[in-house]
Amino acid sequence: MKAVILAAGEGARMGPFTASVPKVMIPVGNRPLLEYVVQALAENGVRDLIFVVGYRRERIQSHFQDGKAFGSHITYVTQTKQLGTAHGIWEARGHLEDPFIVLNGSNMVDGRFVEDLLAASRPAVLITQSERPQSYGVVTVDGKALVAITEKPAEVISNLINTGAYALDARIFDEIERLAKDGKHDLPSAVSALAKRVSVGAIPTEGTWVDALYPWDLLRLNAAALKTTAERRAGTIEPAVTIRGRVTIGDGCVIRSGAYLQGPLSIGAGCEIGPNAVLLPSTSLGKNVRIGALTTVANSILMDDVILGPASVVQESVIGSGVVARAGFLAASGPGDVNIEGTWHSVPQIGALIGEDVEIANGVSAAAGTVVNERARVESGAKLRGTIPSGAVVL
């Protein structure tokens, strides 16, 4: 059985974190989202994968290469125009044989989810219950048969949503071709159209399916992923370091004296954790991160190559790759209002969301819910709130 994994989209609602990586490559639990899908498939013996890639595809290819490191074989299909998910499948059709499954690369799923998909009689769509159905394709069913998928309905008609995982065969291509003539290129429309001709199963899944819609959702996913973190020690751990709970320490790390590490934590390769630094649950540090002396980080994601200066506090925050914050950076959490793509969201507990390569000088503080977009530069002593545009200089 071949699986098509849709990984071409940008994921604009992820704010500054998709400035130079596709959504599927955002790390949670120190692994890109896409790895969870690949792993769940491999657990079920599905190892022949077709990645439909587009936006910043090099980042996916550099990481996954030919797939052997993940126990899979990956063929890449480039979707040159991101018209829609149906168009993505259409581009991959030369590599497909009947039947096949389709999954979204940016959802975190487990082995059970894939098992349910494989057990479904084709054609079928996996459905699940959601607390915010209005953000997804809402599914109307007749018993176990799909009636239609309605994208982001204005009124709540059901709390059953489309997980974006399908078991399909060649019949879908007729629908895709027909809809493309009307300028429609999304897969849910094609599946809804197919349901008018043949019976399409709407199968509820018992497995895990989690979607990160907004950046703060990443923290929830990160905490969930870290629950299964393996205990691992590598590199140099100096005397008088306290390590509690599940903590993964990558190769080549140096953990300096007096550091207090409370798991679950995942520390990537080549990190340097300063003397008397405190890392609290559930935090992931990417590769090559440096945490200064006396700095505290709690329930946050710090991506690769982040440098966090001494005497800083970072809570419930997502810090993008290459961010450099000097001494005394303060991003403490609290209730905050966050603006994403022009819409305000009230988030009960949040620190700061800081895009890649932002430079922050000494003694800067960020109010709860602050968004700093990529490559902004913040001068010393600044007090940040609201949204700082990309490349801006804050005096």
Partner 1 sequence: MCGIVGYAGRRDALPILLDGLKRLEYRGYDSAGVAIVGSGLQVVKDKGFIANLEAQLPPLKGSTGFAHTRWATHGAPSKVNAHPHVDCTGKIALAHNGIIENYASLREKLQAQGHTFVSQTDTESLVHLIESYYDGDLEKATRKALGDIRGSYAVLAVHADEPGKVIGARNESPLVIGLGPDENFLASDVPALLRYTDRVAYVMDREMVVITPKGVSIKDSEGRVVNREPQRITWSLEDAEKGGFEHFMLKEIHEAPQAIHETLLGRLANLEVDGFLSEGVTSVKLVACGTSYHAALVGKYIIEEIARIPASAELASEYRYSQGATERPLVLLISQSGETADTLGAAREAHRRGCKTLAICNVIGSSLSREVDKTIYTRAGIEIGVAATKTFIAELVVLYLIALKLGQDRGTLGYDELDRLKDQLRSLPRAAQYVLNKSDEIRALAQKYGAEAKDMFYIGRHANYPVAMEGALKIKEISYIHAEAYAAGELKHGPLALLTSSTPVIAVVAQDPTYEKMRSNVGEVSARGSPVLAIGTEGDKELPKFVDDVIEIPSLPWIFSPVPVSVALQLFAYEAARIRNCPIDKPRNLAKSVTVE
Residues that bind partner 1 (CB under 8 A): 20, 51, 53, 56-58, 60-62, 64-69, 74, 76, 235-236, 251-254, 269-270, 272, 287-288, 290, 304-305, 307, 321-322, 324, 356-357
CB nearer partner 1, residue 264 or residue 286: 286
Beta bridge partners of 377: 359, 393
User: Of 115 and 359, which has the nearer Cβ to partner 1?
Assistant: 359
CB of 50 to partner 1, least distance (A): 11
Q: Closest separation between CB of residue 89 and partner 1, Å?
A: 18
Q: Least separation, in Å, of the C-beta of 291 and partner 1?
A: 11
Q: Give the residue with the Cβ less far from partner 1, 61 or 349.
A: 61
Rg of the chain on CA atoms, in Å: 22
Q: Give CA–CA dist 83/9, Å, rounded.
A: 10
Rank residues 172 and 301 by Cβ distance to partner 1 and give the closer one.
Answer: 301
In the complex, the smallest distance separating the C-beta of residue 236 from partner 1, rounded to whole angstroms, is 7
Q: Work out how close the CB of 275 gets to partner 1 at its nearest, in angstroms, rounded to a whole number.
A: 12
Query: Residue 68 or residue 232: which is nearer to partner 1 going by CB?
Result: 68
Helix (H) / strand (E) containing 315:
strand 313-315
187-197 vs 171-181: helix axis angle to the nearest 10? 120
Compare residues 46 and 53 and give the one whose CB is closer to partner 1.
53
Q: Give CA torsion, residues 185, 187, 192, 196, to 10 deg.
A: 80
Distance of closest approach, residue 141 Cβ to partner 1, in angstroms = 38
CA 350/CA 318 separation, integer angstroms = 9
- In angstroms, rounded to a whole number, what is the distance separating the alpha carbons of residues 382 and 236? 36
Measured distance CA(310)–CA(217) in Å, rounded: 28
Pairing of strands 160-168, 100-104: antiparallel
Query: Quick count: other Cβ atoms within 10 Å of Cβ 231?
Result: 12
Minimum separation from the CB atom of position 62 to partner 1 (A): 5
CA distance linking residue 219 with residue 232, whole number of Å: 22
Q: Which is nearer to partner 1, 236 or 339 (CB)?
A: 236
Tokens for 91, please give them.
Answer: 């581009």
* DSSP result, 133-170: GGGSEEEEEETTEEEEEEES-SS---SEEEEEEEEE-T
Q: Which residues contact 380 (CB under 8 A, 6 or more apart)?
A: 326, 361, 362, 363, 364
Least distance from C-beta 309 to partner 1, angstroms? 9
Q: Which residue lies nearer to partner 1 by CB, 254 or 367?
A: 254
Cα-based torsion angle of the residue sequence 352, 302, 248, 58 in order, rounded to the nearest 10 degrees: 140
Nearer Cβ to partner 1 (55/216): 55
- The minimum distance between CB 283 and partner 1, in angstroms, equals 19
- Residue 19 CA from chain centroid, whole number: 14
Distance from C-alpha of 210 to C-alpha of 41, rounded to nearest angstrom: 16
The residues facing 315 across adjacent strands are 298
Nearer to partner 1 by Cβ, of 17 and 76: the residue is 76
Shortest Cβ distance from residue 66 to partner 1 (Å)? 4
